Amino acid sequence: MVMIREVLNCQPGQVGSLVSKFKALNEVMGGMGHGPFRIYTDVAGEYFWTLVLERDYESVEAALAMEGEVMGNPKAREVMAGYHELLLQGRREIYKVET
């Protein structure tokens, strides 16, 4: 089992717009039989306007397969259209779940 975390630094004032997109994406994913991302926003930290997504997967390969399936869905692509314009930078962290 792995936990994958996406850490996204948004354009100033845009974290709310990105949260809305990922909440809508969670709905699309649910309709496809996938569990949702956990969505977090910063209270304090290195950067303002930070959004973090977390989700557990059986393996990295399972995560990549799900990502391909979801982003192949026209509704998911519609929901996520323009999200790159909301970002400054991001990174992906992958952790092996030990318990």
Residue 40: its pLDDT value, please? 98
Cα separation, 88 vs 13, in Å, equals 12
* pTM of the model as a whole: 0.92
Cα separation, 51 vs 75, in Å, equals 22
Residue spans of the chain under pLDDT 70 = none
- Bridge partners, 5 (sequence order): 54, 93
Tell me whether strands 2-10 and 50-57 are parallel, antiparallel or unpaired.
antiparallel
Cα-based angle 64, 84, 15 (whole degrees, multiple of 5): 100
Cα separation, 26 vs 30, in Å, equals 6
Residue 45: its pLDDT value, please? 83
In order of their start, the domains of the chain are 2-96 (3.30.70.100)
